[in-house]
Structure 1
Amino acid sequence: MAKKINIQDVARLANVSTGTVSRVMNNKPDVNPETRERILRIVAEQGYVPSVTATGLAVGHNHLISVLVPALTWPLIPEMMLKIAEIVEDSPYEIVLYSISSSNHLSDCGKVIDRILATRLTAGLLAIFPGQSAQHLTQLQRQGFPVVLIDDQNPPVEGIPWIGADNHGGSYKATHYLIALGHRRIAYIQGPMKYKVSRDRYQGYKDALQDAGVPLDPALVQEGDFMPTGGLHCAREFLARPKAERPTAIFAASDLMAYGVMSAAEEFNLSIPKDLSLIGFDDNPSSSHMRPALTTVQQPCTAMGQQAIELLLQLIKQSRMDHHQAYEIEKQILLEDTPRIQFPTSLVLRDTCKKLPKRVAHVTPIIAKT
């Protein structure tokens, strides 16, 4: 079997440096046309296939962007990743994906991050819904390593660029809308309270009740897990109560949990929205196709993913400038004026909510999107 040719072989045959070969393979403009043609001819003749690892080490550049996500079954992760991958495809980088499930210990999260850096090929890190693992990223940022967070931070991380959605405002709008329809017994199914997004959404629910003069009933609050089984379990507990104690509406902190509520309502022979109004959160692609179509809070995941990866690519580019210049830029951007971009959420009205009879809705509904 013939020996596999490497970048050093191509450089020797073309009588140029490995850096020049790398620039040609990455379609950089600063190469003499005759030299470029000679290198490409040798590459074709020798059947050279560039190695991401070898090229990165040869020119001192890393060509991978690490993306850290929770379980891939989480809602909105696929939608967000499609946009991120689309943008990276037009850059000189490739994505390597790491998944950390919520059951992993913090020490495991730290080990995953250590493995990402140990490859020496990672140019930057995008962490999506990092939760408690975000605390491991602070040291990376202090060392000048490009890091961007999308949404959840627990505990909040200072100095790292952040892209998120207005979880509090979206939850407030949803609860306010149900109150405007005449509902007072509004049950709430939380997401796991270890996540900041869950706490923000719960606070929006509480604030809307308080502003409308509706007392908070702790018996109408259950903690779920963002998944259909969690919504099903919590809804069963609510709906098994005597009719006078049942909620007239349920607000689930994720669309997947709202799907579980739909299943529970069917088990109890209750019709949505005739017997029970329902609102979700996220606006998953499936929500408009449910029967009935789910009223929900939409967060712009595509726009969030685009903003985050474009910001990370910008930080990576800046980190590769002259050392002194890069230091000054990083100090200015990451420490003095760290980007914190919050996208608005909107209420999408569909078919799962109904105005209560014999009640006068005295609150004007807040509707951002129909």
Structure 2
Amino acid sequence: MTLLIIIIILALIFDFINGFHDAANSVATVVSTKVLTPRQAVLWAAFFNFVALFIAKYLIGQFGIADTVAKTVEPEFITSHVVIAGLIAAIAWNLITWWFGIPSSSSHTLIGGFAGAGIAGYGFESVHLGTVGVIIIFIFIAPLIGIVGGNIITLITLHLARKIKPGKADKWFKRLQLVSSAMLSIGHGLNDSQKVMGIIAVALIAASKADPNIHEFFYMTDINKDMHIWVPVACFTAIAVGTMAGGFKIMKTMGNKITKITPLEGFCSQVAGATTLFITEKLHVPVSTTHVITGSIIGVGSVKRLAAVRWGVTKDLLLAWIITIPISAVMAGIIYWILGFFI
């Protein structure tokens, strides 16, 4: 029971860190176009991150991404050691990348940590290769969807707004950015909060199998049939509170370092990013909101001309994306080995 409590606490700490690590994803363009101040923007994002709970629970009616994350490691190999090691590694890598202002993926950090701990304990047979393979493929597909979507939405928007005076258009699109950033924050909440839900759920299922007499507050046998309401409430709350803590280091990178953003372009990039997140949520594929919004910003910037995108920054981001899963996996393996001496 003690280890289960530790897992739940670590999972919510990760969720909180995920919130302030990824807060910039949904508010960077709103801040860079001066629609909202940084503090107003993170409060706006936090509110809609939490609103996503009610959309998932009562409109969608399921937590499909949580189920996918839970399948990263085969059920028979899920132990407290594996989950704890994966969470500690994910927290550590998130803090490292936050400190240096690198917009890496919290999602892939968690997946890499969980899988790496499983491999360290039981070998590659412990990992569900189909699930991990799809997640890895979407490292490249998700930003591509964002790029194409950002490009198409910008071209359509420019066509529709071609007769509007620039000053008037800026006022309109600044207001519309409030809507688009809310959409993106909902997408972020739907996507990222469910990943931690999946981790907590597998820990509860493993604990219930080990002790059928466990307290009913923790007893769970199936992620789709008997998910306790406190799990999503805790996860969505943690990510919302984390978002309120802000992520201003990464906000600078996401706001203007990739390409200079106007209100129209900010609106288009957020709509493209939100649409991509809604599509992947429908597919039950956990993707990186960082990857998605970066791709959307690139797609929007490339409409002006390819030279408008600062490709040097983009290459650095791509490198961070590629190394996140293997680094977090190796870190989790080392932590799993260390934990063996103490637990």
- TM-score, structure 2 as length reference: 0.28
- TM-score, structure 1 as length reference: 0.27
Higher share of residues assigned helix: 2
